[in-house]
Amino acid sequence: MQDIRLAIFDWDGTLMDSVGRIVACVQGAARDCELAVPAPAQIRQIIGLSLDVAMSRLFPLCSDSGATRDERQIAALINRYRHHYLHDATPSPLFAGAGELLHDWQSRGLQLAVATGKSRRGLDRVLDETGLHPLFVTSRGADEARSKPDPLMLELILDELGLSPRQAVMIGDSVHDMAMAEAIAMPRIGVTWGVDSSDALSRHEPVAVVDSMTALRGLL
């Protein structure tokens, strides 16, 4: 970890406490489209994936009953989800200590980036709302690369900054984050305050799994 020059963060469930809002918005989209409403546990499993992949997994084109779902319905679900996300009142603050950690690492010369399942538009919006945009040297959203766990968004970030996978660390709360980094032998740190458990994260052999922002801050 002494060679690390770049910390790449997932966003939802890692820096921002937005899991509850995502669950509410997916359920709202399902109701709008008159589909069976997924349970929160089902929705948590797709957080971090790009919306098209996430909705296709939650609402397969061919259901167990054999009924065929038109791809246009997946597009409608995505549109309704985006509508709800803009207007839903479920709080989605930064996790306590996240801002302080980012400012501390950046002040000590560590470069920061984001690799997220959000779209570019959605990511820019939350970066501006939180005032964190200036801290990150680069970022990639779901519409700029293939969905996690494909490592393309990490590779694009590394290519832009001229770094190797061993010079960066991926920090995330989901197995999708861990698998993405594992695919290119990038060191990874799992955090347990998001969607996946310590046991699930540990299956991808992270350098550490931490239970608090304070513990994370002490690793670099």
> Which residues have a Cβ under 8 Å from the Cβ of 134 and sit 6 or more positions away?
none
Q: 10, 173, 177, 196: which one is catalytic?
A: 10
Q: How far apart are CA 144 and CA 135, in angstroms?
A: 20
159 catalytic? Reply is no
- The number of residues making up the chain comes to 220
CB 172 within 8 A of CB 178: yes
Q: How far apart are CA 92 and CA 89, in angstroms?
A: 9
Q: How far apart are CA 187 and CA 196, in angstroms?
A: 18
Q: 3, 12, 17, 64: which one is catalytic?
A: 12
32 catalytic? Reply is no
111 beta partners: 6
The two three-digit tokens of residue 82, written as one number: 């985006």
Q: How far apart are CA 26 and CA 17, in angstroms?
A: 16
Residue listed under structure tokens 């779209």: 119
Is residue 103 helix, strand or coil?
Answer: helix
Helices (H), the chain: 19-32, 40-44, 51-58, 71-87, 98-107, 120-130, 152-161, 175-182, 198-202, 213-217
Active site residues: 10, 12
